[in-house]
């Protein structure tokens, strides 16, 4: 997977952007914090009093597919499919954080992001044959979350968050010039629900967070096609796991 030029270019893009953006945010926080009253042992004591916070996120994720097959794959005889197995593929994600404080323990968060990944399906055929199809994907994602935070303990908080997002696959193959190369296609538009948890760390010049999220697609992404592979599929639903690092 890592030998794929697409993944290599994606990794370079994420690392390059993070290299330049993270120091910029740190510098901005440093100038802001010089104006704050110093409290011994507590970093950025007035940080959570502000109505809005901004930052970036960068991370990795796993993309999978929940496959719902037709009731009886034997109905495809004589050219049949024995099973359809999805694989989990790694990807990279980067976005912008906009956080609005509602009260001491509740925030509203909007985090538009770009995710670079792929989806893979294995089709088991007669005589031990296995056909593999991998479809590269570039997702523009627009999540909105409610974030519930514990009370701050010195320079630490824990939190949980939940919400939903609209996802558009910029590189979907439905209308691609080489669409015939992809017997199984995914529709471009999706709506997903997400939930996760994380930890906030208040550092001297910025806040660092680490979080884990799961995503469940609610829309059937299967694009109907008249071929042996697609005839065995009744539904395709997005599944993802994100590990994200945030700099505010």
Q: What is the C-alpha to C-alpha distance for residues 204 and 37, in angstroms, rounded to an integer?
A: 13
Question: Two tokens at 185?
Answer: 């296609």
Provide the pLDDT for residue 72: 74
Q: Do the beta carbons of residue 55 and residue 246 sit within 8 Å?
A: yes
Q: Which pLDDT value is given to residue 132?
A: 92
Q: Where would I find the H helices in the chain?
A: 5-33, 228-231
Taking the chain (248 residues) in runs of 10, the rounded mean pLDDT of each run is 48 47 48 49 89 95 92 70 90 96 95 96 86 93 97 95 96 75 89 97 94 97 86 92 96
- CA angle 185-186-189, nearest 5°? 150
Phi, psi dihedral angles at 141 (to 5 degrees): -120, 140
Which pLDDT belongs to residue 83? 83
Q: Are 230 and 81 in contact (CB under 8 A)?
A: no
Answer for the pair 146, 162: CB distance below 8 angstroms, yes or no: yes
pLDDT at 239: 96
For position 21, what pLDDT does the model report?
47
Q: Which residues contact 245 (CB under 8 A, 6 or more apart)?
A: 57, 58, 59, 208, 209, 210
Q: Which residues, other chains included, contact 159 with Cβ-Cβ below 8 Å and sequence gap of 6+?
A: 147, 148, 149, 150, 197, 198, 199, 200
CB 118 within 8 A of CB 6: yes
For residues 86 and 134, the answer to whether their CB atoms sit within 8 Å is: no
* CA separation, residue 239 to residues 70, 89, 236 (Å): 20, 11, 10
For residue 74, what pLDDT is reported? 67
* Helices and strands, counts by H and E, the chain: 2, 12
What is the per-residue pLDDT for 237? 97
Backbone torsion region of residue 133, taken as left when φ is above 0, otherwise alpha when ψ lies between -120 and 50, otherwise beta: beta
- Residue ranges of the domains in the chain? 5-247
- CATH fold, domain 5-247, is Porin (2.40.160)
Taking CB atoms within 8 Å and a gap of at least 24, the contacts of 124-129 are: 124/81, 124/82, 124/83, 124/84, 124/85, 125/80, 125/81, 125/82, 126/80, 126/82
pTM exceeds cut of 0.85: no
Q: Could you please report the per-residue DSSP string of 183-194?
A: SSEE-SEEEEEE
pLDDT for res 71: 80
pLDDT at 175: 78
**Other residues' Cβ atoms within 10 Å of the Cβ of residue 50:** 11
pLDDT on residue 7: 47
Pairing between β-strand 233-247 and β-strand 52-69 as defined by DSSP bridges: antiparallel
């Amino acid at each position: 997977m890592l030998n794929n030029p697409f993944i290599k270019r994606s990794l370079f893009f994420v690392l390059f952007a993070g290299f330049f953006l993270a120091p910029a945010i740190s510098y901005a926080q440093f100038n802001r914090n010089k104006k704050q009253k110093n409290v011994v042992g507590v970093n950025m004591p007035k940080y959570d009093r502000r109505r809005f916070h901004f930052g970036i996120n960068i991370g990795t994720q796993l993309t999978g597919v929940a496959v719902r097959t037709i009731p009886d794959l034997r109905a495809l005889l004589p050219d049949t499919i024995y099973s359809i197995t999805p694989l989990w593929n790694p990807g990279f994600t980067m976005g912008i954080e906009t956080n609005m404080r509602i009260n001491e323990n509740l925030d509203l968060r909007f985090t538009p992001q770009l995710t670079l990944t792929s989806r893979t399906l294995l089709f088991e055929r007669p005589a031990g044959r296995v056909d593999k199809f991998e479809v590269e994907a570039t997702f523009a994602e627009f999540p909105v979350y409610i974030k519930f935070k514990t009370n701050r303990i010195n320079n630490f908080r824990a939190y949980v968050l939940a919400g939903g997002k609209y996802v558009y696959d910029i590189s979907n193959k439905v209308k691609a010039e080489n669409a015939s190369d992809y017997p199984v296609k995914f529709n471009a538009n999706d709506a997903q629900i997400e939930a996760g948890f994380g930890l906030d760390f208040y550092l001297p010049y910025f806040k660092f967070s680490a979080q884990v999220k799961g995503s469940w697609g609610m829309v059937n992404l299967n694009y109907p096609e008249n071929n042996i592979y697609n005839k065995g599929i009744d539904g395709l639903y997005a599944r993802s796991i994100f590990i994200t690092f945030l700099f505010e």
